[in-house]
Amino acid sequence: MGAHIDSCERCQTVLDSLSELDERVVAGLESATSPPPDLFERTTVGVEERLRNEASAGAFLDLFTIGWTTVHAVLDPTPDRGSPHDGDANADETMGGS
């Protein structure tokens, strides 16, 4: 029977009308799940705080990254491997070696 109901729209409609909840039950559900009066305020404050914290964490990470990049650039004795000149030289070597 369950399988039939799953596939029969007419039976589903009949069952739906038969199983309608008493309005007191619906009202009770509304009461039992009703949001607290300060939900709006608490939610906006909470979300704004999380967004601010996220922005602060991002800024801190940026500062750390800048510091690290600077220290690395000063202390690293190897030439900048990303320059166009080096790229050309490597390409020449590769071509010459083949």
Q: Find the length of the chain.
A: 98
The CA distance from 42 to 44, in Å, is 6
User: 36 vs 82, which CB is nearer to another protein?
Assistant: 36
Residue 23, both tokens? 């309005």
Total site size for another protein, rule CB under 8 A: 37
For 35, the 3-state DSSP assignment is coil
The CA distance from 10 to 16, in Å, is 10
Is 1 a binding residue for another protein by CB under 8 A? The answer is: no
Residue 75 C-beta: closest distance to another protein, Å: 31
* Residue whose token pair is 């690395």: 72
Considering only residues 34 through 73, tell me which ones interact with another protein, judged by CB under 8 A: 34-37, 39-40, 42-44, 46-48, 50-51, 55
| Binding stretches for another protein (CB under 8 A) | 2, 5-7, 9, 12, 15-16, 19-22, 24-37, 39-40, 42-44, 46-48, 50-51, 55
